[in-house]
């Protein structure tokens, strides 16, 4: 075991396993090294696959009640230690304390929801329509699940996969993002303490995700891939899973439109915009990426939004007084600054509404008025605290612009009432639509996207089926 005060080694077959190579994990608010973390090679990763494969024969045969109780204990431990989890998130990801606590709570709720779902996995029994046979459908755990998670929600993206996988009777090899491995290791430790048997949950941290993942995905003992990350990497992985016809669940990038329709309540829309844009400092797949505001409200909305953004106190997330933390890394911050530079080249005029600390990966929010639909800021996923505003004159035009993207994860619609909001929501080409509200994620709801934003759904009643395979028996009864 390494000397770090955080769990920082691989978890393979119930053992914390140190590797000869390490890589550093930084606090992006101070640029200090938080910990050196074990750097898995493809061979280490295959050992984790072996451990998960061995554990599957036992875990898949346990009763759903036993699996539910492990998940329920994990929920209780996580809830008791919620501040430890939030602290790790704030330290390695940089997000503000309130966001870190929000994420930790959301993450724990996946353990509770899927502990409840474990015993509700039902098969199907019916007579064939012409009564010549009986149709019995069983849902069985698919096997070893390989999970790859991003840095923006280091706890919740892990529990959103681990909880349904374990509920289904699958075992897991989790590969967290190299920027934020400490939270994932902490979550795995919670599951160990909750009674998950050795090998049911394995974690491999690595600085060479591509090489390690290729080795894992080529291994016939791996039965499914569950990925959350960018559309670009998702497509690379789909090309690999295609070689083995491996089931793949994909939670990918977004380019969420935020519509403020004629007659909408501007004050409510600004509250929603602050949630939808600024939760996680804009580094969320659900982040409102582009604001389409009816011309009668555009000036009012922009003014109030700018005032609200200017009121955010920026500083280290670990300090509870701050509303906006650091971005995850200087590299990610600079990607957003590059996008802004490109937009300025197209004539956009971003306004920085406040000042960010000069050390660390901080960035002050920007508001950009009078943006042209089709320009960089409406096409690319910004993933930072930048709010481009486009005005429109007709509802049809707004809906056309909102749907004019290859992404389709989430949309926000602010309308004069919920009836009109739902009518417009039905026309949005996205897996999720928030109506007159700025936050919608919930472990009990199906999260996922249309178009290039993904395949499959996580959470809700659907989430567990990503880890189950149907088998049909025909019998004369
Ligand atoms: P990313 O795609 O760069 O990385 C995601 C994960 O993939 C990380 O663990 C990374 O180490 C790994 N990875 C990178 N290259 C790889 C490769 N060649 N082979 C295998 N694994 C590889 O994404 P990110 O920058 O960590 O996260 C931001 C992206 O994630 C955004 O596009 C965001 O919209 C998306 N996201 C989507 C959801 C969702 O539920 N739809 C949730 C959160 C984030």
Residue 303's pLDDT is what? 98
- Ligand 1 mean position to 231 CA, how many Å? 8
DSSP string over 115-183: HHHHTT---EEEE-TTSSSEEEEEEEE--EEEEE--SSSTTHHHHHHHHHHHHHT-EEEEE--TTSHHH
Q: Is ligand 1 within 6 A of the CB of residue 149?
A: yes
- The CA distance from 197 to 195, in Å, is 6
The secondary element (H helix, E strand) that includes residue 54 is helix 42-59
Q: Is ligand 1 within 6 A of the CB of residue 233?
A: yes
The values of phi and psi at residue 14, to 5°, are 85, 0
- DSSP, collapsed to helix, strand or coil, labels residue 222 as strand
Catalytic residue flag (residue 170): no
In angstroms, the Cα distances linking 350 to 135, 150, 474 are 61, 28, 64
The secondary element (H helix, E strand) that includes residue 26 is strand 22-27
Q: Whose CA is nearest to atom 26 of ligand 1?
A: 150
In angstroms, the Cα distances linking 74 to 66, 83, 104, 424, 459 are 13, 15, 13, 40, 17
Q: Is ligand 1 within 6 A of the CB of residue 248?
A: no
Pairing of strands 32-38, 22-27: antiparallel
As given in the structure block, the two tokens for residue 160 are 């959103």
pTM (2 decimals)? 0.98
| Closest by CA position to 468, among listed 70, 69, 120 | 120
Q: Is ligand 1 within 6 A of the CB of residue 210?
A: yes
Residue 3's pLDDT is what? 65
What is the Cα 328 distance to its own chain's centre?
A: 15
- The CA distance from 176 to 274, in Å, is 28
Q: Is ligand 1 within 6 A of the CB of residue 252?
A: yes
The secondary element (H helix, E strand) that includes residue 342 is helix 330-345
Contacts of 441 (CB under 8 A, 6+ apart): 106, 286, 447, 459
- Ligand 1 mean position to 21 CA, how many Å? 23
Q: Is ligand 1 within 6 A of the CB of residue 382?
A: no
CA atoms within 13 A on the CB side of 396: 0
- Ligand 1 mean position to 256 CA, how many Å? 17
- Ligand 1 mean position to 233 CA, how many Å? 7
- Ligand 1 mean position to 176 CA, how many Å? 9
Residue 4's pLDDT is what? 80
As given in the structure block, the two tokens for residue 310 are 């200017």
Pairing of strands 410-414, 256-260: parallel
Name the active-site residue from 85, 117, 179, 285: 285
Residue 150's pLDDT is what? 98
Q: Is ligand 1 within 6 A of the CB of residue 454?
A: yes
Q: Whose CA is nearest to atom 19 of ligand 1?
A: 210
Q: Each residue's pLDDT tens digit in the chain (477 positions)?
A: 566 899 999 999 999 999 999 999 999 999 999 999 999 999 999 999 999 999 999 999 999 999 999 999 999 999 999 999 999 999 999 999 999 999 999 999 999 999 999 999 999 999 999 999 999 999 999 999 999 999 999 999 999 999 999 999 999 999 999 999 999 999 999 999 999 999 999 999 999 999 999 999 999 999 999 999 999 999 999 999 999 999 999 999 999 999 999 999 999 999 999 999 999 999 999 999 999 999 999 999 999 999 999 999 999 999 999 999 999 999 999 999 999 999 999 999 999 999 999 999 999 999 999 999 999 999 999 999 999 999 999 999 999 999 999 999 999 999 999 999 999 999 999 999 999 999 999 999 999 999 999 999 999 999 999 999 999 999 999
- The CA distance from 228 to 80, in Å, is 27
The secondary element (H helix, E strand) that includes residue 109 is helix 97-118
Catalytic residue flag (residue 18): no
Name the active-site residue from 92, 117, 251, 466: 251
| Closest by CA position to 348, among listed 369, 365, 328 | 369
What is the Cα 468 distance to its own chain's centre?
A: 21
- Ligand 1 mean position to 228 CA, how many Å? 6
Secondary structure string (H, E, C) spanning 251-318: ECCCCEEEEECCCCCHHHHHHHHHHHHHHHHHCCCCCEEEEEEECCCHHHHHHHHHHHHHCCCECCCC
- The CA distance from 463 to 443, in Å, is 9
Which ligand 1 atom minimizes the distance to the CA of 236? 18
Q: Is ligand 1 within 6 A of the CB of residue 286?
A: no
Q: Whose CA is nearest to atom 17 of ligand 1?
A: 210
- DSSP, collapsed to helix, strand or coil, labels residue 204 as coil
As given in the structure block, the two tokens for residue 447 are 């999260």
Secondary structure string (H, E, C) spanning 444-474: CCCECCCHHHEECCECCCCHHHHHEEEEEEE
Contacts of 273 (CB under 8 A, 6+ apart): 258, 288, 291, 301, 305, 308, 387, 438
Q: Is ligand 1 within 6 A of the CB of residue 228?
A: yes
As given in the structure block, the two tokens for residue 96 are 């503000």
| Closest by CA position to 367, among listed 357, 377, 346, 352 | 352
What residue has token string 């941290």?
Answer: 205
CA trace torsion 455, 457, 462, 466 (10° rounding): 50
- Ligand 1 mean position to 175 CA, how many Å? 11
């Amino acid at each position: 075991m390494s000397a770090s005060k955080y769990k920082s080694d691989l978890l393979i077959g119930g053992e914390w396993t140190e590797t000869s190579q390490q890589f550093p994990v930084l606090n992006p608010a101070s640029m200090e090294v938080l910990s050196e973390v074990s750097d898995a090679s493809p061979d280490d990763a295959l050992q984790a696959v072996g451990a998960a494969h061995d554990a599957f024969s036992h875990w898949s045969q346990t009763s759903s009640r036993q699996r539910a109780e492990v998940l329920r204990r994990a929920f209780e431990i996580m809830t008791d230690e919620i501040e430890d989890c939030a602290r790790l998130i704030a330290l390695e990801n940089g997000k503000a304390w309130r966001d870190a606590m929000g994420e930790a709570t959301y993450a724990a709720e996946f353990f509770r929801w899927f502990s409840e779902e474990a015993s509700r996995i039902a098969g199907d029994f019916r007579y064939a329509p012409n009564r010549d046979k009986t149709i019995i459908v069983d849902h069985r755990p698919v096997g070893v699940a390989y999970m790859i998670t991003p840095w923006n929600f280091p706890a919740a993206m892990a529990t959103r996969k681990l909880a349904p996988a374990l509920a289904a009777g699958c075992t897991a090899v989790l590969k967290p993002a190299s920027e934020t491995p400490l939270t994932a290791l902490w979550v795995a430790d919670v599951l160990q303490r909750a009674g998950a048997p050795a090998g049911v949950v394995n974690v491999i941290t690595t600085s060479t995700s591509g090489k390690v993942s290729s080795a894992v995905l080529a291994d016939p003992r791996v039965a499914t891939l569950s990925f959350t990350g960018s559309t670009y990497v998702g497509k690379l992985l789909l090309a690999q899973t295609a070689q083995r016809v491996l089931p793949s669940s994909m939670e990918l990038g977004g380019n969420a439109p935020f519509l403020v329709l004629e007659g909408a309540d501007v004050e409510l829309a600004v509250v929603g915009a602050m949630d939808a844009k600024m939760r996680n400092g804009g580094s969320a797949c659900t982040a409102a990426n582009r604001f389409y505001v009816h011309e009668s409200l555009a000036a009012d909305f922009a003014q109030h939004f700018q005032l609200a953004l200017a009121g955010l106190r920026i500083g280290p997330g670990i300090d509870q007084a701050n509303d906006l933390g650091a971005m995850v890394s200087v590299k990610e911050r600079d990607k957003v600054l590059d996008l802004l530079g490109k937009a300025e080249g197209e004539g956009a005029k971003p306004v920085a509404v406040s000042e960010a600390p000069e050390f660390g990966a901080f960035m002050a929010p920007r508001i950009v008025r009078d943006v042209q639909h089709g320009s960089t800021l409406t096409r690319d996923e910004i993933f930072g605290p930048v709010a481009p505003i486009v005005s429109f004159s007709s509802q049809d035009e707004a809906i056309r612009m909102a749907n004019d993207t290859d992404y389709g994860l989430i949309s926000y619609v602010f309308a004069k009432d919920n009836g009109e909001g739902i009518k417009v929501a039905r026309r949005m080409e996205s897996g999720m639509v928030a109506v007159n509200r700025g936050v919608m994620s919930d472990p009990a709801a199906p999260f996922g996207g249309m178009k290039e934003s993904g395949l499959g759904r996580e959470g809700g009643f659907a989430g567990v089926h990503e880890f189950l395979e149907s088998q049909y028996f025909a019998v004369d009864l």
